[in-house]
């Protein structure tokens, strides 16, 4: 399984906390078993949300060919900028 993005971890964690809080307040349970069931349900819901939120790689693939067609130009621009910023090519060394 690929690693989760920061957004996926955030959404999953927020879902666990908020759904557990909501279920505990709405159920008004006092038993330990009830709290454990609510905690497990909140955890399962958070994992489902984290997995279903589109990750960065999936979002880039969903952007289609327009996003991937520009990628080689961006890579070349980064390489050109990196070559220009070498110590020997710096404007202070000329």
- What tens-digit pLDDT sequence spans the chain (94 residues)? 677 777 888 888 888 999 999 999 999 888 899 999 999 999 999 888 888 877 655 555 666 645 555 555 666 766 666 666 555 555 565 5
- What pLDDT score does 30 carry? 85
* Count, residues in the chain: 94
Return d(Cα 36, Cα 46) in angstroms, integer: 15
Q: How would you class 34 by CB atoms within 10 Å of its CB: exposed for 0-12, middle for 13-18, buried for 19 or more?
A: middle
- What pLDDT score does 52 carry? 85
Please, what sign has the CA dihedral across residues 74, 78, 80, 81?
positive
- What pLDDT score does 23 carry? 92
The whole-model pTM stands at 0.55
Return d(Cα 16, Cα 24) in angstroms, integer: 12
């Amino acid at each position: 399984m690929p690693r989760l993005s920061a957004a996926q971890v955030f959404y999953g964690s927020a879902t666990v906390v908020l759904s557990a809080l909501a279920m505990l307040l709405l159920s008004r349970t006092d038993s330990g078993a009830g709290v454990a069931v609510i905690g497990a349900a909140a955890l399962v819901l958070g994992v489902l949300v984290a997995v279903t939120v589109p990750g960065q790689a999936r979002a880039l693939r969903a952007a289609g060919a327009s996003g991937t067609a520009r990628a080689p130009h961006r890579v070349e621009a980064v390489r050109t900028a990196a070559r220009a910023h070498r110590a020997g090519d710096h404007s202070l060394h000329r």
